Amino acid sequence: MAGSLILIGFMGSGKTAVGQELASRSGMGFRDADQAIEEKAGMTVAEIFDSQGEAGFRRLEEETVTDLLDAGAGKVEGLVISLGGGAVTSERLRSRLAAEPLVVLLDTDVELAFHRSQDGSRPLARDQRRFRELYRERQPLYESVAKFRIDTRGKSIRQVTAEILGATGKGPAEF
Ligand code: S3P
């Protein structure tokens, strides 16, 4: 079994855009965890935070990501799955990810990540000081489960995608 290619990293690190490009270039299916959560809840992420708090969102996230990882494991080719930046705060999800061979961390600059996260859809990206703190707190969690780490600084989506395909053996590294 090939295994899914799972993208992790902080908000604004490009997981969704890179995930879509990876899927189209590798021929694998693509699932974005936040989108799957929104479909399941019938609400946006911001609405879930407003009505159920962060704890309610994390419960839904844990359930949804577990289902996506199970769906990927059931496919010969696996899936490209991009996770929300906070999925690694769940111990249950971290232990699932520890058993996955293709977990790729997209590393980015915190200031750039903050600017990219200002579209109003991310409740945890409203306060810049808190955003920086979260970035620092999350790094050890990402590193504890990542099998590959890609520095995205100064690189295009196509370049990052090519590096991931090369590193994971899922496709040619040319772009
Ligand atoms: C979050 C990241 C978001 C989304 C939610 C919480 C986080 O996903 O799941 O707003 O705690 O880091 P992206 O990383 O795709 O922005």
Q: Which atom of ligand 1 is nearest to the CA of 134?
A: 12
Residue 125 belongs to what H/E stretch? none
43 CB near ligand 1 (under 6 Å): no
Task: Using the mean position of ligand 1's atoms as its centre, give its distance from the Cα of residue 174 in Å.
Answer: 30
Residue nearest to atom 7 of ligand 1 (CA): 86
3-state secondary structure of 121: coil
Instruction: Answer yes or no: is the C-beta of 34 below 6 A from any ligand 1 atom.
Output: yes
46-61 burial: b if 16+ Cβ within 10 Å, else e:
eebbeeeeeeebbebb
Distance 98 CA to ligand 1 centre (A): 20
Taking CA 154 as the corner, what is the angle to CA 153 and CA 155, rounded to the nearest 5 degrees? 95
**What gap in Å lies between CA 173 and CA 165, rounded to an integer?**
6
Q: Give the position of tokens 């590294």.
A: 173
**92-127 core/surface letters (b: 16 or more CB in 10 A; e: else):** ebeebbeebebbbbbbbbbeebbebbeeeebebbee
| φ and ψ of 95, to 5 deg | -75, -30
Check if the beta carbon of residue 147 is closer than 8 Å to that of residue 104. yes
* Ligand 1 atom nearest 123 alpha carbon: 10
* pLDDT for the residue numbered 165: 96
Which tens digits make up the pLDDT trace of 61-87? 999 999 999 998 888 788 999 999 999
What pLDDT does 77 receive?
Answer: 81
In contact, 42 and 53? CB cutoff 8 Å: no
- The kind and range of the H/E element at 74 are none
**Arithmetic mean of pLDDT over the chain:** 95
Q: Which residues of the chain have pLDDT under 50?
A: 1, 175
Q: Which of 11, 31, 39, 130 to mutate to test the pocket of ligand 1 (most atoms within 8 A of CB)?
A: 11
Q: Note the pLDDT of residue 97.
A: 97
CB contact at 8 A, 35 and 109:
no
* CA 102 – CA 2 distance, rounded (Å): 9
Q: What is the pLDDT of residue 172?
A: 63
What pLDDT sits at residue 3?
82
